[in-house]
Structure 1
């Protein structure tokens, strides 16, 4: 469930990966769905970042249900803690499972090097949403597991104790709400999860929510994302100001993701910026702590357009089939069943990629309040990825926001203007290099 950045070890092998392009060779054979489940057989390994679900037996239960439909397929799971770093390294060979989650640091344009085609975009878009996320030249290489709406997971009872019961409509109102939480409850208003790093990458997923603009990502290919009024300017300014005004944890270098679940559940933390997938985890932590899971709620980014909040639906990991898999039919059977039949997306309060599926229950408050759920156009993603690489900003990595936080808390030189100006300048240089 986590979007992690490249670790140092992964960075060290990036150049080798680029040259190797996925091992000694690759198969372009598609992973075709079988019409007769009884004729599909073989053993497959499924790579996952959900170590918790493997350890507690949940994934085995999914495999048992799958076996009722595909009795000839044996499914093994390999849970990986540092999923992004380790899988990226393993993709320098042919041994990266049969079914896997596409690492976020694999450029979209490189999908055909590593993954088997699943079908045409025209065909699969009849059934699934978010197909463009995995499409390269009209061939689909990944199907989204689910999409998360984005917002602040917050302790509703704590905020009510601070006198804040309505969702803030502007960044200024949100900061005022954080201050009220601090002054009236003594809790940490906003938790950054700086040390784990990966939660900071989710702030980029607010891109488009501020201006309610489906073209927000595409605009990054031609413009300055940190220009005044642009989404990333507003997003990063809010985070900077929250830290600068001492409305976040005292020492961000000591944050802990697992502890943060308990802290928000017990009212020691006011809010965290995350995807809707985090809601069931926080509610489970509340139940474990003897608190009401109903205290955990979800609010949109504090910005309105035409009187309405907007929340970008951000596709989570995509499932793909290793192009080198010797059991592509079995791998495709698992992928299709898990997306279509397992109920995994609903369990994680995510928006299912299956068009006929309903919205998850956790998003009912969004629906009731008229929050607009939008999907970004991704036709410029390959170019944006290239610009990002050339600029060395790392919009999908935590580093630049860790630096932003360091400046905001006085641990590094500069101010908000210098941070934004540096990002703008580097992005401009990256655009020029990518031209």
Structure 2
């Protein structure tokens, strides 16, 4: 049984995992960079070890250093959180080879799903609808233009190994594609070590809806319903909610069943998320699979009462699922607003010294935070500093609680996207549930935020 977990991550997700470790009586180990030595997660852990300098390639991506610390401190498992090494098949394989339990799927499945091209092929084999696009990597601008003409503009140019919107761009013409192809391929090579690109048809007025799944090594799998993640800026999520205000019960059940079937076909284990694009007629298409816990997992926890991190640990211990599909129900409505240290108009990061950080506490308000008052936000990491999660008996109750909480929130010393979050929550189209992936561009000021 797992008795000590090293958390190969930082910030709010490290705090989140430690909270479940404490509940389960498991010791937690933090690893941190020099830039994070004063961070709350470092003090919260039972043990803490310095990884190296602030830059991620010298700290949170330093596989050998992380494994060395795990061995020296006697950790018998590693939880990767999200981002960094969480979807790195090589890291998972090295954990396995070192006799350390990796809390996630097998390295083989992770590598398959880590390539968007291979993932599309796997889903097609499992009879999951996929967005029309290329079957293999596109290696030149000329080949890309030929394929784009056959698919029809607009298209999405994507990095096969990408994530977080990196290496992704909407393209409307041959001229745009010529400019975009090399830039995105170079960016993908820089971020992921893989510049392979592929093309998909852009589905207009789509919604980004994902299904949370849990699966054990005995072939059992369940879904925890859906999350609507359509409110995005630059292909990165800003506001998520569960359940979707759009899906019919029939489509909800069909998508949940499709996700479970896909997990079983892959031999998937642990927590994962299958993401779909859904058009105005509720046709759904596989987008990608995230082989890790998601940033937005708290809203699923709020509507189901399931501690997803605890379930991850239970599965990693070799146990069978403690959940049955027929026992899972949706209770209420939850919304998550990501608070970023960034200019709400330009989306440029806003590092600096937080002098005041005060978010109201109360019933049905949950805060997952990486920061406190008197905290220095550095430019080295993702600018998300906290997640505000609210719950109501109905969607309208949840929206009103979100607005009230954001209006009472005080963050001083840096710029944040709180004005943008309020603008979204108060917008009549959002309140009506008319949320597509182009919501911010379509409805919000200034300059349509292109």
For CA contacts below 8 A with separation 6 or more, give which structure has more relative contact order: 1
Between structures 1 and 2, the one with greater strand share: 2
Question: TM-score, normalising length from structure 2?
Answer: 0.26
